[in-house]
Chain A
Amino acid sequence: MFLKLTGGLDWVCGDVSADLTPYANDPAAGEFLRAMRDGKWRMARDVAKSLCKQDRPRYLPLLAEANAGLARGMIAKGLLKDAVTVIEYLATIAPPEMVAKLRGELACPTSSAADQPAGGGAIHWAVALRAADGQAAQIPISPEDMAAIDALVTHGFSPPQGAGVAADRLAAELVAVRKACAATGDGRWDEAKDALRALPRDSIFRHWRMFLRGARHAFGEELEMARKCFADLPPVGALARAARALDPDLPGRGPAAPVGARVPFFLAATGQPAAWSTAILDAQASGKAGKTVRAYKDLSNVMKGAFPDDRPGLAAQLTGGVMPFSRNMREADIDDAYDLLDAYSGGKLADSPNALLTVVREACLAIPDYNAPGELERTWGTVLSAWSRRDGADPQRDAVGWQWLGETQARLEEQDYNSSSQWGSSPQGDFRRARTAFEKSVKADPENQDGWLALLTVLKKSGDTKEHNRILGELVKRFPKNKKILLLAGNEALDRKTYPKALKALRAALELDPLDREIKCSISIALIRQAIDLLKKKQSATAVWDELEPLLEDTPGTSHLMLSRWIARLRIGLLETDPEAAATAMAAAEKLAPSAVERLFLEEKLREAYRLTKRKTLDTDWRREVLKRPPGWEAFARLFQLADFSGLISPWSIASWNRSVKNLDALVSAMIENATDKDLADLADFLERAERLTSTLDKDSRDLLRQALRSILKRVEIVIDSKKQPRPWLQLANLLALEASGAFMSISQTMFYGRLNQIIAMTEKSGDPTCLAKARALHDRMTSKYREPDSFDDDESSPPSLLDMLADAMNSMDIGADDIHGNSAKGPAKKPASKKPVSGDQMDFFL
């Protein structure tokens, strides 16, 4: 007589098994039960045979169970002939129902047969009884027994009734746990709680209480609480696996629930059709085998009409999951993408708006470069019309769509028209097609301000200044509160030297965003130019200088040196025609400048930029300051940023460049001559940063820095030659200068490493951790540099730096010598931007 435990559930029930309760606490049957629990049927059979020799009537049911397990194992493995033999033998010793059931399984083998519990759960029951008994005697439950106990809960074995007090008590607990499981799955929390209340504290199922509590919290999205409950679970086993399915970020690693179970579970938990489970699993397998198109088809065949889709939902999530298109596609991805497009071509795509809006839309986004000219426009147009057909017309959608097309065709980046440096150095695209696309965009939605800005950018780049200015004028009137348009209008007016108009637009822009440094820089330029005009006319510029004052900052950073207070003072000191005002400004500049060397260096450069007479005492002052107060290597690095800044105002002459080289050489000589270890450590820092600094500079200042690095190398070597035993810091500075200047290529690796290892040995001995760390870091860097010598010093192919782009912008609005002297001082002619090569293999893969 077996207990009815189903409670309305579809438990798998092995009701043809023998009642193994009497053997649970039989010491002689212990080995048999362990072997059965672990699925070691042959071993169990052998043990049962020997037990039968002792007491055949008592142990014959065990022999039958072992043989039944053996037969099931054989069926699961496809060893049907062997299974027949075992079942034939079983027919001589086992009850006819058991034999009949096995014959049925033999006739219709199922894949789940292997997962059926041994003895239909009777073994697990017996193991659980033994474990409960052992626990009373303080014997801990082994992981194998715990696995059997968990399997007892999840499989539908019905324990026998009236088999003793302990067995009945355990059966009642089992009923409670199963009831709580079902109630938790259904979200009937109170019922689950009531059921779990029946579990005593020392129950062998007590870990289920924590798991089910955690599951309840997980379903209620209280993950913190869920984690607290799951933390008390045994770290391995069924419940740990299930907990990881509910919370994948659970601390601690371990196997999760099998994927075949997770998929139907998550489909049910998110209210999706259960029928999608097979398709998802098949698509996963196809994807793992690298068959992207197959994965796509696995899903679309089963999820007919629902997949692919771009609208929020699981179908869209799955569409994204298997779609091969991405930015920066690898060769294999591109092949996959073409396969998919091929598979969906031939009218299928045109018939399905969803496929158009997923497959083709993403193809356009991911691989526009592979289209023939005009093909992208046509295909993208098809996508936009499909959208209109499906969801109705929407001007804003069309505006955004056409704007993207224009940006792609013009190869514009958003920053090209989103900052004051609107004429960036991105490679040129097809401006004619881009202009058409932008015109469509603003026609669809005239309020699309970004679309207008993009159109202006293209008009300017394609040289249609008249149309550009006309549209810009209209936009300023139409969008008086658009900062970007006002800034653009201001900068345009600056270019045309109509300063009052420029200042009006820029002041309005600054009112909208008083912290914007780009606007402040443009206003500063307009004011300085205005002041220069006034001074040329022998008029006072005091009011203009006063207006400049609130914009200035003490430490504006290298990218906004235009706003530097000391530089503004120095500029006023140089430009002001009133001697008293000039002297006051110069005195202020002297006080505010971070170092005298920086001030003198920039003064020399600005004098040249503004075509002012060279101050006779400048060289003397330089030499005096250099000898008196060498400024340190931080200031030395800043000189190159100042050089860069002055180069933006006006390009240098050869004489100026040579003078700078000479002055820097004198400075380097003074700084290295009597350098202490602290000075040399600073020099080492500078040399380590030199490569990065180089990449931020424009060509002239970059060359100046390289010259300075050679000068440092030379001076360090002179000092080393003059010493009998040069200090480790000096030797390290020598090697770092070799690295930074690129001269390491001219000496042998053996010599370089020999000297470096010598420094490492010396510093290890003397105990200078900083020097040692720097030497070791140099060792690591040089290992890769010697491996890839070609990667060094490749300034022709390096991408344009931010300063390069700033230089472009500043060249278009420079406030150079022509402003004050009426001379023309144009910036160096820029190389025309190279057009991105188009693949020769123009593939017509779209509709």
Chain B
Amino acid sequence: MNPYLVLDLPPDAGDADVRSAYQRLLRKYPPENRPEQFQKIQEAYGLLRTSRDRWRWKLLHLNDHRIGPVEALEEFARLPARMTPPGAKPFLALLKSCAAAAGRDAVKPTKKR
């Protein structure tokens, strides 16, 4: 997980930016309400706290798990404050596709054993 994306920071963010982004997100995602998001934010903050930390991450990070592009996109969309209403057209397209798939499911012939 890219800590810059988690904290919603530009690549040239400095110490003060990191700290204020961390504090802003902590207020938005308190641990008692959103433990998973809180943990992500904590981890990201730990990786970017000092300028040396930030360079260490930028230079030396390596993905230890390869995921598909679709999963990468979905992971990106699930970052804090990332997903917004997509607009009527894409939302309805998603619903339409789900309805078509559900229609196929509903009439799928059951296999006899």
A residues at B contact (CB < 8 Å): 9-10, 12, 37-40, 115, 143-144, 146-148, 150-151, 153-155, 181-187, 215, 218-219, 221, 223-224, 236-242, 245, 248, 255, 257-271, 274, 280-281, 283-284, 287-288, 295, 299, 310-314, 316-318, 320-328, 333, 361-362, 365-366, 391, 394, 396-397, 399-401, 404, 448
Contacts and interface: CB of A to CB of B under 8 A. Distances in A.
B4 to A, nearest CB: 4
Interface of B: 2, 4-5, 9-12, 33-34, 51-52, 55-56, 58-60, 62-78, 80-103, 105-107
Contact of A221 (B72, B80, B87): B80
Contacts of A38: 106-107
Which secondary structure dominates where chain B touches chain A? helix
A311 B83 contact: no
B69 A269 contact: no
A295 B63 CA distance: 17
15 contacts: A9-B88, A147-B103, A147-B106, A150-B102, A181-B91, A185-B87, A185-B88, A242-B94, A261-B93, A266-B74, A266-B77, A270-B73, A400-B56, A400-B59, A448-B52
Contacts of B65: 326
Given A185-B88, A187-B84, A238-B101, A266 B73 contact: yes
A181 B84 CA distance: 15
Sorted nearest first, the 9 A-B pairs with minimum C-beta distance are A185-B91, A321-B72, A261-B97, A187-B85, A312-B4, A268-B86, A268-B90, A185-B88, A38-B107
Given A323-B63, A362-B62, A400 B92 contact: no
Contact of A148 (B12, B103, B105): B103
A324 B63 CA distance: 9
Contact of B87 (A146, A186, A313): A186
Contacts of B56: 400
Contacts of B12: 391
A397 B105 CA distance: 55
Contact of B85 (A153, A154, A186, A281): A186
B63 A236 contact: no
A295 B90 CA distance: 25
Given A265-B94, A312-B10, A155 B99 contact: yes
Given A258-B98, A326-B62, A321 B74 contact: no
Nearest to B82: A270
A181 B72 contact: no
Contact of B99 (A238, A245, A311, A361): A238
A185 B92 contact: yes
B39 to A, nearest CB: 14
Nearest to A362: B62
Contact of A255 (B73, B84, B96, B101): B101
B102 A10 contact: no
A274 B9 CA distance: 23
Nearest to A296: B69
B60 A241 contact: no
A219 to B, nearest CB: 5
Contacts of A12: 96
Given A184-B91, A266-B76, 4 more contacts: A155-B96, A185-B90, A318-B73, A400-B55
A154 B96 contact: yes
A361 B96 CA distance: 43
Nearest to A224: B33
A263 B88 contact: no
Nearest to B73: A266
Contacts of A181: 88, 91-92, 95
A9 B88 CA distance: 8
